[in-house]
Chain A
Amino acid sequence: MSETVTASEAPRENYLNRDHSVASWLLTRDHKRIAILYLIGISIFFALGGLMAVLIRAELATPQGDLFPADVYNRLFTMHGILMIFFFLIPSIPAVLGNFLIPLMVGAKDLAFPRINLLSWYLYMVGASFTFVSMLWGGIDTGWTFYTPLSTTFATGQVLLTAVGIFIAGFSSILTGLNFIVTIHRMRAPGLTWFRLPLFVWAHYATSIIQVLGTPVIAITILLVGAERLFHIGVFDPKYGGDPVLFQHLFWFYSHPAVYIMILPAMGVISELVTCFSRKKIFGYHFIALSSLAIAVLGFLVWGHHLFISGQSVVAGTIFSFLSMFVAVPSAVKVFNWTATLYKGSVSLETPMLYALGFIGVFLIGGLTGVMLATLGIDIHVHDTYFIVAHFHYVMVGSAIMGYLGGMHFWWPKITGRLYPAFISKVAAVVVFIGFNVTFLPQFILGYLGMPRRYHTYAPEFQTWNVMSSAGATVLGIGYLLPVLYLLWSLKYGEKAPANPWHATGLEWQTASPPPLENFEVTPVVTEDPYSYPDGTLRPKEVPVGV
């Protein structure tokens, strides 16, 4: 093996270089390597889902259906949704960054159950493979929501195969959550009390609760849908005395909280970034920590806002409307605290911070339109239009990806031991932000004007906004491609990263980059609160090198 390091820097053994065999990767129980395995997996499925988005936006550039027939278009947006939600957004931050960082942040050698962690990855890959095979075999056209009786009786695609894939991947999610909860409870280093935990850990704790308690409900629901389809019996099919609305209740009981599986970890990332790049102790630590738990709990009580026009009683609709507005409170608490942290901080606009600020902007729009949609009257007006599409892309796609990319850029030196080029990465962050907004802001307008979702043709007067959206998607695509290129480049050519390139607090920065096999040479002892940045100290760039 050729070494490019200088003589003074003797090659130190770390989790990456200690064994290069394929088996040492595929049978690893090291949380850091499993995180890398996940990174590879989710990147593949993100690329596939992105490809579908490209095709969708290409079709929508003109009012006529010129690229695909309606039937193929239905399959495209369905598979786009399924791949992106179940195989990218839900695992993205927890399975990659959470997996890598939680043991480091709590000062442990690994997650509590390393073998189960590896099993989670295999379950994810097997589930994803089922879904991928079903795509090659013709895919499905039910929308990612699998509404009955369309999915059980009328749909002609590979519903069963896709359902099996999602069922299996669900258990990957459950086991990851379980592993995190036990690790956070039982594996904390001496002195690391609950209120000394980084907010990233708090956010993942809340996320894990949703994963463990919510996912099994979608699992049993999918099982019932599969059985209905296979055996021609029915719990949801009116023909057999079943109730399709029961399906919707069960589906959204998971799938609304699932939005928080996607967004809470991103919020955890943002809390870390905002405080590090403001060089200031985070404002309202306890409020941010507990608001994560509040979101996890309240998130389970609002699913009915997806059934406003599905034959739910007015009383239920009103209660769900109120609760849905209420869940915005803990989210707003976070945004206010981040803003207060920025106030009078020594803000430096490094790449991760650009994503953090982008997150706040995108999440604000997504969150506020969420409050609009929680209002019964408005929701009935814009139901099933592009307004909904724009809203959920802002709140769970834009926000989650900003968090994911921000976190990736923040911890990349820790994960790989390499630095990436600063300027081009800042350009990419700006391109992503612009591309995202140009893609999805026009969709709010389209929805408000009445363009329905899920059709491949539309009235000619909607074309201008659609062309704008497709153009934005192109920009966004470039914004996503850039980090892939320079991050891969940095693996070989990037400058070697020091242990703590951002001069951040947190246990993960106190060990080498990349960390040794068992994370720390000596188990750390924690003696102070998190984020003990002396207020208004030097920006990262100004701290003398060698600290």
Chain B
Amino acid sequence: MASEPKAAPLAHHFDSYLQQKESASLGMWLFLGQEIMFFGGLFLAYTVYRWRYASAFAAASNDLDLRLGLLNTVVLIGSSLTIALAVRSAHLGKRKDLVGFLLATLALGGVFLGVKSIEYAQKFAHHLVPGPHFRFEGADPTQAQMFFTLYFFMTGLHALHMIVGMAILVWMLRPAAQGRWTPDNHNFVEGFGLYWHFVDIIWIFLFPLLYLIGRHHGA
């Protein structure tokens, strides 16, 4: 395997690169469709309990760190830009740029997870993790606990998708450097780009739902 690897070939069961590309892209969109339904269950649960426990949810959301959340939002939007540029580089056949933008995306993903773990650590320290050690100073600790249950579930599942994405990014570095993806055939990069944007969009919904809605001024 020391010699220069060839560009990704046309799979045996396709007739043309176009057919292969269209299949890959439809497959990815369908996968994202199932992802939306997967997260949809949680968004439904959030909606039900936000409706039912409006004031407790508003009070609990004050315990989230708005500045860190905002920082992470900016970081993720930045990573969406870098992955879009990576796809463009693959499209233009610019191998070095592709590797560079993949690395940048990886770095931004790392920053996001770092900030997220700081937030999680704060919640542990303040006994805001649901379970036997949960403490909440507000009027309805049980209802506030529901907020944090959903907070951890939704952001945790989102972070898990980030980790999977970053593992794939690491894997992509070598073939990207070796020129596996050509302007004709870079379905993998394009599909991954869609996945990464999807993970970003989930966060774009999570941020206002968890951090912003019902927040008190000056809290």
| A binding-site residues for B, Cβ under 8 Å | 108-110, 112-114, 174, 178-179, 181-182, 185-187, 212-217, 219-221, 224, 227, 231-235, 240-243, 246, 250, 518, 523
Known contacts A110-B12, A181-B26, A213-B34, then 20 further A-B pairs from the complex at CB < 8 Å, ordered by chain A residue: A110-B13, A112-B27, A113-B27, A174-B34, A185-B26, A187-B13, A212-B33, A212-B34, A216-B41, A217-B37, A220-B40, A224-B45, A231-B130, A231-B131, A233-B145, A240-B146, A241-B146, A250-B41, A250-B45, A518-B12
Contact partners of B11 in chain A: CB under 8 A: 114
Q: Which of A109, A112, A215, A523 has the most CB of B within 10 A?
A: A112
User: When the two chains form their complex, are residues B132 and A235 in contact, meaning their CB atoms are under 8 A apart?
Assistant: no
Contact partners of A213 in chain B: CB under 8 A: 33-34, 37
Query: Which residues, 113 to 167 on B, are CB-close (under 8 Å) to A?
Result: 130-132, 142-143, 145-146, 149-150, 153
User: When the two chains form their complex, are residues A216 and B35 in contact, meaning their CB atoms are under 8 A apart?
Assistant: yes
User: When the two chains form their complex, are residues A182 and B27 in contact, meaning their CB atoms are under 8 A apart?
Assistant: yes
- Does B184 lie at the interface of the complex (its beta carbon under 8 Å from any beta carbon of A)? no
CB distance from A534 to the nearest CB of B (A): 33
Q: How far is the CA of A178 from the CA of B132 in the complex (A)?
A: 41
User: When the two chains form their complex, are residues B37 and A216 in contact, meaning their CB atoms are under 8 A apart?
Assistant: yes
Q: How far is the CA of A8 from the CA of B45 in the complex (A)?
A: 68
Contact partners of B22 in chain A: CB under 8 A: 186
One of B12, B45, B146, B150 near A109 (C-beta < 8 A): B12
The interface on chain B, measured as residues whose beta carbon lies within 8 A of the other chain's beta carbons, has a size of 36
Contact partners of A114 in chain B: CB under 8 A: 11, 13
Q: How far is the CA of A456 from the CA of B15 in the complex (A)?
A: 59
Contact partners of B39 in chain A: CB under 8 A: 220
Q: How far is the CA of A161 from the CA of B44 in the complex (A)?
A: 26
A213-B33, A231-B131, A233-B145 known; A182 and B45 CB under 8 Å?
no
Q: How far is the CA of A156 from the CA of B192 in the complex (A)?
A: 42
A187-B23, A241-B53 known; A233 and B31 CB under 8 Å?
no
Chain A: interface secondary structure? Answer: helix
User: When the two chains form their complex, are residues B149 and A186 in contact, meaning their CB atoms are under 8 A apart?
Assistant: no
CB distance from A180 to the nearest CB of B (A): 10
User: When the two chains form their complex, are residues B44 and A250 in contact, meaning their CB atoms are under 8 A apart?
Assistant: yes
- Chain B residue at minimum C-beta to C-beta distance from A112: B23
- Does B92 lie at the interface of the complex (its beta carbon under 8 Å from any beta carbon of A)? no
Contact partners of A243 in chain B: CB under 8 A: 48, 52
Contact partners of B12 in chain A: CB under 8 A: 109-110, 518
One of A112, A215, A219, A224 near B153 (C-beta < 8 A): A224
CB distance from B109 to the nearest CB of A (A): 23
User: When the two chains form their complex, are residues B30 and A181 in contact, meaning their CB atoms are under 8 A apart?
Assistant: yes
User: When the two chains form their complex, are residues A240 and B23 in contact, meaning their CB atoms are under 8 A apart?
Assistant: no
Q: How far is the CA of A221 from the CA of B31 in the complex (A)?
A: 18
- Chain A residue at minimum C-beta to C-beta distance from B38: A216
Q: How far is the CA of A241 from the CA of B15 in the complex (A)?
A: 56
CB distance from A436 to the nearest CB of B (A): 34
Contact partners of A246 in chain B: CB under 8 A: 44-45, 48
Query: Which residues, 84 to 133 on B, are CB-close (under 8 Å) to A?
Result: 130-132
CB distance from A23 to the nearest CB of B (A): 19
Query: Which residues, 1 to 51 on B, are CB-close (under 8 Å) to A?
Result: 11-13, 15, 19, 22-23, 26-27, 30-31, 33-35, 37-42, 44-45, 48-49
Contact partners of A216 in chain B: CB under 8 A: 34-35, 37-38, 40-41
User: When the two chains form their complex, are residues B153 and A178 in contact, meaning their CB atoms are under 8 A apart?
Assistant: no
Chain B: interface secondary structure? Answer: helix
Q: How far is the CA of A112 from the CA of B21 in the complex (A)?
A: 11
Q: Which of B19, B37, B53, B131 has the most CB of A within 10 A?
A: B37
One of B26, B38, B45, B131 near A235 (C-beta < 8 A): B45
- Chain A residue at minimum C-beta to C-beta distance from B144: A241
Q: How far is the CA of A112 from the CA of B52 in the complex (A)?
A: 45
CB distance from B171 to the nearest CB of A (A): 15
Q: How far is the CA of A178 from the CA of B24 in the complex (A)?
A: 11
User: When the two chains form their complex, are residues B145 and A220 in contact, meaning their CB atoms are under 8 A apart?
Assistant: no
Contact partners of B31 in chain A: CB under 8 A: 178
Q: How far is the CA of A187 from the CA of B12 in the complex (A)?
A: 13
- Chain B residue at minimum C-beta to C-beta distance from A208: B30
Q: How far is the CA of A109 from the CA of B37 in the complex (A)?
A: 31
Q: How far is the CA of A246 from the CA of B46 in the complex (A)?
A: 11
CB distance from A256 to the nearest CB of B (A): 15
Q: Which 6 pairs across A and B sit closest by C-beta, in order of nearness?
A: A220-B41, A216-B38, A109-B13, A110-B13, A216-B37, A233-B130
A–B pairs, 21, beta carbons within 8 Å: A108-B13, A112-B27, A182-B27, A182-B30, A185-B26, A186-B22, A216-B34, A216-B41, A217-B40, A224-B153, A227-B153, A231-B130, A232-B131, A235-B45, A235-B149, A240-B130, A240-B145, A241-B49, A241-B142, A241-B145, A518-B12
CB distance from A316 to the nearest CB of B (A): 14
A212-B34, A215-B34 known; A187 and B19 CB under 8 Å?
yes
Contact partners of A187 in chain B: CB under 8 A: 13, 19, 23
Q: How far is the CA of A214 from the CA of B30 in the complex (A)?
A: 12
User: When the two chains form their complex, are residues A232 and B132 in contact, meaning their CB atoms are under 8 A apart?
Assistant: yes
Contact partners of B42 in chain A: CB under 8 A: 220
- Chain B residue at minimum C-beta to C-beta distance from A186: B23
Contact partners of B37 in chain A: CB under 8 A: 213-214, 216-217
User: When the two chains form their complex, are residues B26 and A221 in contact, meaning their CB atoms are under 8 A apart?
Assistant: no
A186-B19, A240-B149, A518-B13 known; A212 and B30 CB under 8 Å?
yes
Contact partners of A179 in chain B: CB under 8 A: 27
Contact partners of A233 in chain B: CB under 8 A: 130-131, 145, 149
Q: How far is the CA of A185 from the CA of B33 in the complex (A)?
A: 16
Query: Which residues, 37 to 87 on B, are CB-close (under 8 Å) to A?
Result: 37-42, 44-45, 48-49, 52-53
Query: Which residues, 147 to 195 on B, are CB-close (under 8 Å) to A?
Result: 149-150, 153
CB distance from B143 to the nearest CB of A (A): 5
- Chain A residue at minimum C-beta to C-beta distance from B40: A217
Contact partners of A185 in chain B: CB under 8 A: 23, 26
CB distance from B40 to the nearest CB of A (A): 7
One of A212, A224, A242 near B146 (C-beta < 8 A): A242
Q: How far is the CA of A149 from the CA of B31 in the complex (A)?
A: 32
CB distance from A478 to the nearest CB of B (A): 41
Q: How far is the CA of A518 from the CA of B13 in the complex (A)?
A: 8
User: When the two chains form their complex, are residues A219 and B38 in contact, meaning their CB atoms are under 8 A apart?
Assistant: yes
Q: How far is the CA of A214 from the CA of B22 in the complex (A)?
A: 24
One of A110, A217, A523 near B41 (C-beta < 8 A): A217
User: When the two chains form their complex, are residues A217 and B146 in contact, meaning their CB atoms are under 8 A apart?
Assistant: no
Contact partners of A212 in chain B: CB under 8 A: 30, 33-34
Contact partners of B130 in chain A: CB under 8 A: 231, 233, 240
CB distance from B19 to the nearest CB of A (A): 6
Contact partners of B145 in chain A: CB under 8 A: 233, 240-241
Q: How far is the CA of A246 from the CA of B39 in the complex (A)?
A: 15
Q: How far is the CA of A231 from the CA of B149 in the complex (A)?
A: 10
